[in-house]
Structure 1
Amino acid sequence: MNKNETVNVQTFINEHPFSRFQWLIFAMCFVIVLLDGFDTAAIGFIAPSLITEWKIDRSVLAPVLSAALFGLAFGALVVGPLSDRLGRRNILIASVGVFGVACFASAFSGDLLHLTVMRFVTGVGLGAAMPNAVTLMSEFCPDRRRATLINLMFCGFPLGAAFGGFLAAWLIPHFGWRSVLIFGGTTPLLLLVALLIALPESVRYQVAKAAPVEKVRATLARIASDASNAVSFVLTERAPAVAGKSGIKLVLSSSYIVGSIMLWLAYFMGLVIFYASINWMPILLKEAGLSPQHATLISALFPLGGVGAVLCGVLMDRFNPNRIIAACYALTAISVYCIGHAVGNIGLLMLAVFVAGVLMNTAQSSMPALAAEFYPTQGRGTGVAWMLGLGRFGGIAGSFLVAKLTQQHFTFEGIFTVVAIAGVISCVALLIKQAVHPRPLVSRNRDMEVSTH
């Protein structure tokens, strides 16, 4: 790089190897997403113990199962968009602190109401953390590997949920259900120290907000030293900006509204499937005749399937991402339907649960990368946050849906047949998004400059 050169930050990131600094950012964001998956799923794995210890009916569990989801939605919708105003780093650090403290405190709940309140607060922190982790990571990724890296990072969510299941199966018999929440609270508080020391602000956000050129230069220099000669920086956007609009105004503008709604609908329906399965499958399998331990272990196979998102990310970087994810949702609908018809055979049931988990979590884990690509920097934080936030209501709907179906005496097969319909809806939503907002073959750029002059 020549002295006094003007640097396009995305071109700089594209042209340099993925550095150890970027891998550090990836690792921190991955752990945040993993803890999100662990804490979000933990309540489903401890539900059978709550029923036994507090001598309550399973029908009254719906509020506590859904409390964190209400918090997740609130955190994403209200706190998440602040990242477009205050920065990704500050909101992310505060969010991790909130959900760590709240999850730890929930371990000492004495009744269902106290636990419900603390799960809501935990959800607020998680809801604000997830979209900011996705947004921050996406803004440090080269274009050619963005979907692959974000999907790899987002694998932390289903892996965290699966790990929660295996850990709960061991912890609860030895130390009781409270130990699961204590673990889920102390780990993010330890991570908080690393974030305070090492987490940077997004370099694309710095340029978009006209940050001092010294800060931009210092951040890029940690990727490659030749950035130290630059005196000004510009930012090009693949997604078209909307003049005078940022944040929620951009997301709801006429240029983005149809795509936004379709992203919300697809993610909503995907979480109907995820939370209906993760929260209720241990209970439904137990009632179908399996032992509590076997029910928990088989249920944990469902979120473990999220590792398939890595391959999907590679395909998204090479082909049309809307169609790739739509196909995954269509196959998800078929596989979830098959779970309901495999309960009489343990081997077949394990296979059906795992395959359904691979397909469903692959589709769902790919959605944040799709949203991050769809919006420009001025609205990316809000766009990702609102998709994740509004989608969380799908998790709430999924929990209450299964509760309602059990009250109506639906069979095991009937419950999973109804849940499978959500996958069809997600598939159709993404095909509509593709029809209205075809992926541009040529980048449409907008330059913003930060200079010492």
Structure 2
Amino acid sequence: MSQSTHIDVQDFLDKQKLSGLQILTLFLCFFIVAVDGFDTAAIGFIAPAIRAEWGLDAAHLAPVFGAGLFGLMAGSLIFGPLADRYGRKRILMLSVFFFGLMTLLSAWSTSVEMLIALRFLTGLGLGGAMPNAITMSSEYSPQRHRSVLVTTMFCGFTLGSAMGGIAAAHIVESFGWHWVLVMGGVLPIVLVPVLALIQPESPRYLALKGGADEQVRRLMQRIAPNEDLAGATFTVREKRAPGFPVKHLFAPELRFGTLSLWATVFMTLLVIYLLSSWLPTVINNTGMSLKNASLVTAMFQVGGTAGAIILGRLMDRYSPQRVLGITYLIGAAFTFMIGSTTGSTAMLVLAVFGAGFCVSGGQVGTNALAAAFYPTGSRATGVSWSLGIGRIGSILGSLAGGWMLVLGWSISTIFLAVSIPSLIAALCMAAMARKRKQAAPGLEQAIGVSS
């Protein structure tokens, strides 16, 4: 190959079959978000045991949950810009090690105040790991399969959350709640040296950073061992912008999309956390047993997992903003339907599954959209800040259900209100699709939507 050959990293990835290195990266990121999901959900599953051992009431436990959510928000806002400046792999390993260590330390909490502080610190690491796993997966994926690969990878979070419940069910009774946290801490800590040894840095980040042609060439050779890459230099379409990465999210060509993504994630996380937190209670208040109410609520997560995979495939074939806009619109209808179907278990299960498919599955799709929308130099910041701002919605959602119940709203009124954020998310995606259509022909490539 000629010494003057220049190769665009994404163009090269798009022309190759999915390689073992790319599959390995997706698997490791899947495992990262799985242990992330395990540690995020574990505290909810062991809360009754903590409450009984320490003689607490619900008011004492509420700050424990809130501290974790605030930590997730802060971690997303902090670690994304650091990943754009210092590299995805380095910050990913730091985040995973940090939330593992804090979870492990939480197992030896001796007071609720200590547990609150450690849950906040755990949240910091969790908030940093998730968006960086999304970014790494996106930057190793060919464009034609990017959405479905990222959304499938993110299903690890749901699996990890479910494993947290299974582990709690088997461990708490025999060994105590502390050992669930020990398990949740050891798994990510053990994962860190594995990441250090076998997970390479993102080739797009290395090409943008510059001065790493040989490192990128070795990565590309692993992806396409039959290609002659001797003497090649590797580039990305955009240039590395100076200054703080958050500022770049508001460049003229990105500003509208940034605000649309923030509003969408805010609204969807509000709905997801409200339904996850309060749906069993609301359904139980209609006369259904708590056991059956919990099983019905589980269909929300089942629907979300199915939705993530199917919507990812649709987003790769059609306009992702239009796919998500239609999905959120249908999600609003299913959410409203929950309030009018409590008399029929079958219809209620369908409504809850549909709401999970559209709203929770759509949220995973929005993460993939954010990773595709931003250029390499601000991709980790863009993904992490959309999740960080969205976490404000998750905090409000976890509180809003209680407020509506205290105010004595009827079940139909509650779910009419809960459907409104999904409608707003649908409008945001429709507006983003319209803006994209009006963009100049070369603008999408410049900002990374097609790269």
Aligned to 1:336: 335
Task: Read off the aligned partner of 1:280 and give its amino acid letter.
Answer: W
Q: How far 1:315 sits from its partner (Å)?
A: 1.2
Task: Read off the aligned partner of 1:205 and give its amino acid letter.
Answer: Y
Q: How far 1:54 sits from its partner (Å)?
A: 4.2
Q: Is the 8 A contact 1:322 1:431 kept in 2?
A: yes
Aligned to 1:361: 360
Q: Is the 8 A contact 2:328 2:422 kept in 1?
A: yes
Q: Could you say if the C-alpha distance between residues 39 and 418 of structure 1 is closer, same or farther in structure 2, counting changes exceeding 3 Å?
A: farther
* Cα distance in 2, alignment partners of residues 13 and 30 from structure 1: 20
Aligned to 1:450: none
Q: Is the 8 A contact 2:436 2:444 kept in 1?
A: no
Residues 109-165 of structure 1, C-alpha deviation per residue, up to 9 Å, x if partnerless? 333322222211111001111111111111111111111111111122233333434
Aligned to 2:276: 278
Aligned to 2:232: 232
Aligned to 2:382: 383
Task: List aligned pairs for 1:196-211, cutoff 5 A.
Answer: 196-211=196-211
Please tell me whether residue 189 in structure 1 is matched to residue 189 in structure 2.
yes
Which among 235, 251, 254 is matched to residue 252 of structure 2? 254
* Cα distance in 2, alignment partners of residues 50 and 286 from structure 1: 23
Aligned to 1:372: 371
Aligned to 1:264: 262
Please tell me whether residue 11 in structure 1 is matched to residue 11 in structure 2.
yes
Aligned to 1:82: 82
Q: Aligned residues: percent identity?
A: 39
Q: Is the 8 A contact 2:10 2:142 kept in 1?
A: yes
Q: Could you say if the C-alpha distance between residues 184 and 335 of structure 1 is closer, same or farther in structure 2, counting changes exceeding 3 Å?
A: farther
Q: Could you say if the C-alpha distance between residues 284 and 98 of structure 1 is closer, same or farther in structure 2, counting changes exceeding 3 Å?
A: farther
Task: Read off the aligned partner of 1:397 and give its amino acid letter.
Answer: L
Q: Is the 8 A contact 1:5 1:231 kept in 2?
A: yes
Task: Read off the aligned partner of 1:248 and give its amino acid letter.
Answer: V
Task: Read off the aligned partner of 1:336 and give its amino acid letter.
Answer: T
Greater RCO between the two (CA within 8 Å, min separation 6)? Answer: 1
**What's the secondary structure of 1:153's corresponding residue?**
helix
Q: Could you say if the C-alpha distance between residues 313 and 194 of structure 1 is closer, same or farther in structure 2, counting changes exceeding 3 Å?
A: same
Larger mean CA deviation between 297-306 and 26-35 belongs to 297-306
Q: Is the 8 A contact 2:336 2:416 kept in 1?
A: yes
Please tell me whether residue 223 in structure 1 is matched to residue 220 in structure 2.
no
Residues 233-292 of structure 1, C-alpha deviation per residue, up to 9 Å, x if partnerless? 24343xx76965672121022221121011001001111111112233344455555555
Aligned to 2:120: 120
Q: Could you say if the C-alpha distance between residues 243 and 87 of structure 1 is closer, same or farther in structure 2, counting changes exceeding 3 Å?
A: closer
* Cα distance in 1, alignment partners of residues 101 and 10 from structure 2: 36
* Cα distance in 2, alignment partners of residues 318 and 7 from structure 1: 26
Unmatched 5+ residue regions in structure 2? Answer: none
Larger mean CA deviation between 27-36 and 170-179 belongs to 170-179
**What's the secondary structure of 1:350's corresponding residue?**
helix
Q: Is the 8 A contact 1:41 1:278 kept in 2?
A: no
Q: Is the 8 A contact 1:246 1:379 kept in 2?
A: no
* Cα distance in 2, alignment partners of residues 2 and 241 from structure 1: 24
Residues 82-118 of structure 1, C-alpha deviation per residue, up to 9 Å, x if partnerless? 1111000000001001111212222333333222222
Aligned to 1:304: 302
Residues 186-208 of structure 1, C-alpha deviation per residue, up to 9 Å, x if partnerless? 22222223212111100011010
Q: Could you say if the C-alpha distance between residues 422 and 162 of structure 1 is closer, same or farther in structure 2, counting changes exceeding 3 Å?
A: farther
* TM-score normalized with structure 1 length: 0.89
Aligned to 2:63: 63
Larger mean CA deviation between 99-108 and 289-298 belongs to 289-298
Q: How far 1:435 sits from its partner (Å)?
A: 2.4
Task: List aligned pairs for 1:127-146, cutoff 5 A.
Answer: 127-146=127-146
* Cα distance in 2, alignment partners of residues 358 and 168 from structure 1: 26
Task: Read off the aligned partner of 1:114 and give its amino acid letter.
Answer: M
Q: Could you say if the C-alpha distance between residues 406 and 269 of structure 1 is closer, same or farther in structure 2, counting changes exceeding 3 Å?
A: same
Q: Is the 8 A contact 2:80 2:382 kept in 1?
A: no
Larger mean CA deviation between 305-314 and 436-445 belongs to 436-445
Q: How far 1:23 sits from its partner (Å)?
A: 0.3
Q: Could you say if the C-alpha distance between residues 250 and 242 of structure 1 is closer, same or farther in structure 2, counting changes exceeding 3 Å?
A: farther
* Cα distance in 2, alignment partners of residues 285 and 272 from structure 1: 19
Q: Could you say if the C-alpha distance between residues 114 and 281 of structure 1 is closer, same or farther in structure 2, counting changes exceeding 3 Å?
A: farther
RMSD over equivalenced CA pairs, Å? 2.7
Q: Could you say if the C-alpha distance between residues 422 and 446 of structure 1 is closer, same or farther in structure 2, counting changes exceeding 3 Å?
A: closer
Q: Is the 8 A contact 2:253 2:443 kept in 1?
A: no
Q: Is the 8 A contact 1:322 1:433 kept in 2?
A: yes
Aligned to 1:162: 162
Larger mean CA deviation between 226-235 and 395-404 belongs to 226-235
Larger mean CA deviation between 305-314 and 383-392 belongs to 305-314
Aligned to 1:426: 425
**What's the secondary structure of 1:437's corresponding residue?**
helix
Aligned to 1:95: 95
Q: Is the 8 A contact 2:208 2:236 kept in 1?
A: no
Larger mean CA deviation between 147-156 and 60-69 belongs to 60-69
Q: How far 1:295 sits from its partner (Å)?
A: 4.2
Task: Read off the aligned partner of 2:390 and give its amino acid letter.
Answer: G
Q: Could you say if the C-alpha distance between residues 52 and 317 of structure 1 is closer, same or farther in structure 2, counting changes exceeding 3 Å?
A: same
**What's the secondary structure of 1:7's corresponding residue?**
strand
Q: How far 1:37 sits from its partner (Å)?
A: 2.3
**What's the secondary structure of 2:141's corresponding residue?**
coil
Larger mean CA deviation between 337-346 and 128-137 belongs to 337-346
* Cα distance in 1, alignment partners of residues 412 and 43 from structure 2: 24
Q: Is the 8 A contact 1:241 1:446 kept in 2?
A: no
Aligned to 1:317: 316
Q: Is the 8 A contact 1:4 1:230 kept in 2?
A: no
Task: Read off the aligned partner of 2:24 and give its amino acid letter.
Answer: L
Task: Read off the aligned partner of 1:366 and give its amino acid letter.
Answer: G
* Cα distance in 2, alignment partners of residues 299 and 394 from structure 1: 20
Task: Read off the aligned partner of 2:321 and give its amino acid letter.
Answer: N
* Cα distance in 2, alignment partners of residues 406 and 26 from structure 1: 42
Q: Could you say if the C-alpha distance between residues 30 and 391 of structure 1 is closer, same or farther in structure 2, counting changes exceeding 3 Å?
A: same
Q: How far 1:396 sits from its partner (Å)?
A: 0.8
Aligned to 1:393: 392
The alignment covers a number of residue pairs equal to: 445
